[in-house]
């Protein structure tokens, strides 16, 4: 709706992706070919006024939000549903979302990122990307922009989802 904000969005998104790669340090595809990363608008000054473009969560949200304890916030999966799928995290702090899979089948958790689209460069996804039955996966990031971010499970993109509210 507000096209001029697009470049700012991209710049901030790049910053967050860089931070994520640094924090998670998962050594897959290293992509350092982007000089724009260092020249983001007003470093250290997140823009809370940015309107995030996000898809609707595909799973009904819990009434009560789950808050981080320390820097960890837990979410579990049972019967192919996230349990505790509305997460509240503070702006700017590093937070780790820990996903415990209580099913036999694999799940994961993928955050769409600033562009509101899955399977794009600014996604944030659990490590490992496939959390097997009875296993746990984690994703760490430092949210730089307030808002409600949507996530889903790659294995059940139409029925497993939720929201991370950064404030
Ligand atoms: Cu799933």
Domains within the chain, CATH numbers bracketed: 3-28+56-166 (2.60.40.420)
In this structure, the number of other CB atoms found within 10 A of the CB of residue 28 comes to 8
Distance 134 CA to ligand 1 centre (A): 13
> Position of tokens 């473009």?
53
Distance 105 CA to ligand 1 centre (A): 8
What residues are neighbours of ligand 1 (ion), with CB under 5 Å?
107, 153, 155-156, 160
Distance 125 CA to ligand 1 centre (A): 13
Q: How far apart are CA 143 and CA 165, in angstroms?
A: 10
pTM, two decimal places = 0.71
Distance 11 CA to ligand 1 centre (A): 31
Task: Examine residue 22 and say whether the peptide bond preceding it is cis (omega within 30 degrees of 0).
Answer: no
Distance 106 CA to ligand 1 centre (A): 6
Confidence (pLDDT) at 138: 98
Beta bridge partners of 142: none
- Show the low-confidence residues of the chain (pLDDT under 50): 1-45, 49
In this structure, the number of other CB atoms found within 10 A of the CB of residue 62 comes to 15
Confidence (pLDDT) at 131: 98
Confidence (pLDDT) at 154: 98
What is the token pair recorded at 71?
Answer: 């820097």
Confidence (pLDDT) at 150: 96
Distance 159 CA to ligand 1 centre (A): 8
Beta bridge partners of 162: 151
Confidence (pLDDT) at 70: 87
Distance 108 CA to ligand 1 centre (A): 6
Distance 24 CA to ligand 1 centre (A): 22
Q: What angle do CA 24, 30, 31 make, to 5 degrees?
A: 115
Confidence (pLDDT) at 4: 44
């Amino acid at each position: 709706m507000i096209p001029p904000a697009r470049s700012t969005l991209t710049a901030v998104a790049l910053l967050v992706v860089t931070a994520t790669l640094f924090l998670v340090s998962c050594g897959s595809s290293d992509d350092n070919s982007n000089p724009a990363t260092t020249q983001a608008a007003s470093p250290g000054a997140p823009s809370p006024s940015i309107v995030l473009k996000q898809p609707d969560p595909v799973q009904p949200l819990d009434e009560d939000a789950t808050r981080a304890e320390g820097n960890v916030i837990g979410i579990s999966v049972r019967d192919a549903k996230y349990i505790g799928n509305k997460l509240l995290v503070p702006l700017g702090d590093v937070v780790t979302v820990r996903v415990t899979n209580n099913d036999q089948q694999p799940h994961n958790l993928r955050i769409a990122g600033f562009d509101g689209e899955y399977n794009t460069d600014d996604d944030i996804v659990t490590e490992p990307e496939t959390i097997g039955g009875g296993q746990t996966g984690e994703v760490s990031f430092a949210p730089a922009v307030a808002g409600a971010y949507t996530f889903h499970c790659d294995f059940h993109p139409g029925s497993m989802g939720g929201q991370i509210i950064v404030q």
